[in-house]
Every structure is written in structure tokens, then in C-alpha cells.
Amino acid sequence: MSDALTSWYLENRRPLPWRASQDPYRIWISEIMLQQTTVQAVIPYYERFLKAFPTVKDLAQAPLEKVLEMWSGLGYYSRARNLHKAAQLFAEKGFPKTAAELTEFPGLGPYTSRAVSSIAFEEKVGVLDGNVIRILSRVHNLAVEHWKPAGRDVLQTHADALAQVDKPSDLNQAMMELGATVCTTHSPTCLLCPWKTSCKSLEANTHQTLPLKKPRAEGEIWVWQPEIMMQKNRVALVQNPDMPFLKGQWVFPGKISRVKKKPETFDLKHGITHHDIYIQIKKASAKERQKLDVQTAKGVQWCEVGSLSSVNPSILLKKVLSHLPS
């Protein structure tokens, strides 16, 4: 099975920029960016990021604000923060060559560690992302709860068995490619699949029902009431103390509360993971600005509006400013 898949991959793979070499730095950057983001969306960000930080040393020495600015638009900014922390460790210690060692670094979980070690260093370990979970569930006709440890262990065992080849780098990338282009979530093109004759779910006509769907997490509804305090062309920011999203980042001061239902009035809506955020914008009075001035020593900073993205690149803050009442 491995040989058939690898042969198919070498003939059909897309010319993606991170496939041009086995540089662990470039592979690592691409894998972090591809979390929660599509391939086509990642490509321009990847190229821009590598132009700004061509080596792990460049990334390690860069200010965090610059890293966040280059990450702007990809979302999930904790990824960028962990990337920066890990780069500093990699620059000092070098890249470990095994998945077990890589998992000790910030932001590298089992999947990313295995992807980097197998693609960059040919470690014979299988990867298990959404694409691979779908393929293995179908080819082995496995109705397992892959979001639970027991189910993941079953699939990981199959993935590891397939990776016992001369070039696990090709095998693992072939799995990802097959899931992205042929064994897709909806309407898989089974006739083009190199495993069509050995796919147990295709034979049983259960391929459209696999993998099992993870029960959806209950969405959370939040109301945020940011107070926009302006001084000339500067806006006040506080380091996020209470919000369950954008943790630790500089945001507008204001109240945040979780509610049971959508508010009747709001200025705009924004979504972050399973948080639905309804925003009620308030332009602060002169008295409130004076009060904030007194608190400057307690973690408040005044930021030039034009430099906001370098302090917090989240599009949420930009959306709030664009809806500011006159």
C-alpha cells in the first residue's frame, strides 16, 4: 500500500513552496501556519514570513511585535508567540531530529513534531491530522471516535505502520496530499485514488459516513463593550485581563460578559473559534480619559492608530475602530 501511495504522490503532488527542500525550519513554519488555515490561504503568508525571517536565527532575534505583524491575517496569534519562543530555543540548541524531542518545544504537539521529524529527518513515524484521520478511517472502514485518546491510538498505530519505509517524508506528505485532493470530506473522487482496490469502506459503501463526526462544542455568546479612548491620533489599550480570546494581548478597555442569547442591539459581530462576540462600541468621555491617564502606570498604553497592527495584529481591533461612532 505504501509503495502505491508514494508513486501516486510523486506523479501528482502540487508544487507547494515548502516542498522545495527538507529544511526543518521551513517545514516547521509551514506546518504551524497550516493549522486551522487552508493551503491556498497560507502560501502568500508563508512567502512573506520567510522573506522577513529567512532563517531560524532571524526569527529568534526579531522583536515579538514584528513577528505578530508578519502573522497578521492568519489568526490564532498564540501560534505566532509559540513560534517565536521555539525559534529562540532552536537557534540556541539546534533542531532535534526526533518527534519525541520536538514535542518539548512550545507549540509543537504530536502531529507537528511528527511531521517535522519525518519530512526533514526521515524519522519513521506516521502523522495524524484531519486528512490522515479521514483516509485511515475510510481505507480500514474504522468507525472510531478519533477525538478521544483510544480512537486516536488506533489510527496512530495504522499511520506508524505505513511509515516504515525508506522515505517516510514522501509517504506522510502523500497521505496529506491524498486527503486534500482525492479523499476529501465531501464527494471524494474514489476512482482516482491509488488505494481504491483496497479501500474497505468503498467496498462496504460506508466511505461517505466516515470518519465519524465529532460532536460540536457548544458555541459561546459574549458581549464586549470596548471603550474607545482617543487622544489626538492615539488610542488607549490595556493588556487583556478578562477576555477568553486574544489572551495576553493589548486590547481596548471595556467590559466583557458571557450571555445566554444574542443581544438585541450591537454594532458588529465577530467570531473567534467557538466564541460569537457581539460588540457594543462606546466612545469614552473626557472624564473617563482622565481616569485612564491616572491608571497609565497600571498597564495602560497609548498607541498611535496607524501603529495598532504592530501592537495587536488582530482584525477585531481594526473592525472596532472602523465602526467607531462619530
- 133 and 153 both lie in a single domain: yes
The CATH number given to whatever domain includes residue 209 is 1.10.1670.10
Residues 230 and 286 in one domain: yes
Same domain, 208 and 231: no
Which structural domain range is residue 102 located in?
Answer: 1-123
Same-domain status, 195 and 276 = no
What is d(CA 35, CA 307) in angstroms, rounded to the nearest whole number?
Answer: 27
Q: What is the pLDDT of residues 1-30, one digit of tens each?
A: 899 999 999 999 999 999 999 999 999 999
Q: Are 64 and 144 within one domain?
A: no
How many degrees, rounded to 5, is the angle at CA 160 between CA 156 and CA 165? 160
What's the structural domain count of the chain? 3
Assess whether 50 and 8 both reside in one domain.
yes
Higher-confidence position of 303 and 111: 111
Mean local confidence (pLDDT), 75-80: 85
Same domain, 115 and 133: no
Residue 98 maps to a domain: yes
Which residues pair with residue 270 across a beta bridge? 277
| One domain for residues 92 and 11 | yes
pLDDT (tens digit, 9 = 90+) per residue, 96-117?
A: 999 999 999 999 999 999 999 9
- Please indicate, yes or no, whether residues 18 and 98 belong to a single structural domain of this protein: yes
186: exposed, middle or buried (Cβ count in 10 Å: 0-12, 13-18, 19+): exposed
Q: What is the pLDDT of residues 244-293, one digit of tens each?
A: 777 778 888 888 899 999 999 999 999 887 789 999 998 766 566 556 55
pLDDT at 155 over 90: yes
- Asked if pLDDT for residue 317 goes beyond 90, the answer is no
State which amino acid sits at residue 313: P
Measured in whole angstroms, the distance separating CA 189 from the mean position of its chain's CA atoms is: 27
The residue among 161 and 301 whose pLDDT is bigger is 161
Q: Which residue numbers are catalytic?
A: 31
Q: Are the beta carbons of 106 and 82 closer than 8 angstroms? A: yes
CATH of the domain at 243: 3.90.79.10
Reading the block at residue 57, the C-alpha cell is 536565527
13 within domain boundaries: yes
Peptide bond into 241 cis (omega under 30): no
Q: What is the pLDDT of residue 297?
A: 43
Q: How far is CA 46 from CA 33, 34, 54, 184, in A?
A: 7, 10, 11, 24
- 169 within domain boundaries: no
Residues 233 and 266 in one domain: yes
Domain assignment present for residue 168? The answer is no
Within-domain flag for 172: no
Residue 280 lies in a domain: yes
118 and 201 fall within a common domain: no
Provide φ and ψ at 228, rounded to 5°: -90, 110
User: Residue 294's pLDDT is what?
Assistant: 46
CATH of the domain at 1: 1.10.340.30
> SS in 3 state form for the chain?
CHHHHHHHHHHHCCCCHHHCCCCHHHHHHHHHHCCCCCHHHHHHHHHHHHHHCCCHHHHHHCCHHHHHHHHCCCCCCHHHHHHHHHHHHHHHHCCCCCHHHHCCCCCCCHHHHHHHHHHHHCCCCCCCCHHHHHHHHHHCCCCCCCCCHHHHHHHHHHHHHHCCCCCHHHHHHHHHHHHHHCCCCCCCCHHHCCCCCCCHHHHHCCHHHCCCCCCCCCCEEEEEEEEECEECCEEEEEECCCCCCCCCCEECCEEEEEECCCCCCCCEEEEECCEEEEECCEECCHHHHHHHHHCHHHCEEEEEHHHHHHHCCCHHHHHHHHCCCC
pLDDT score for 18: 96
Amino acid 322: pLDDT: 85
Q: Is there a domain that residue 171 lies in?
A: no
**Last-in-domain residue among 104, 123, 142:** 123
Question: Considering the domain boundaries, does residue 303 fall inside one?
Answer: yes
Residues 209 and 304 in one domain: no
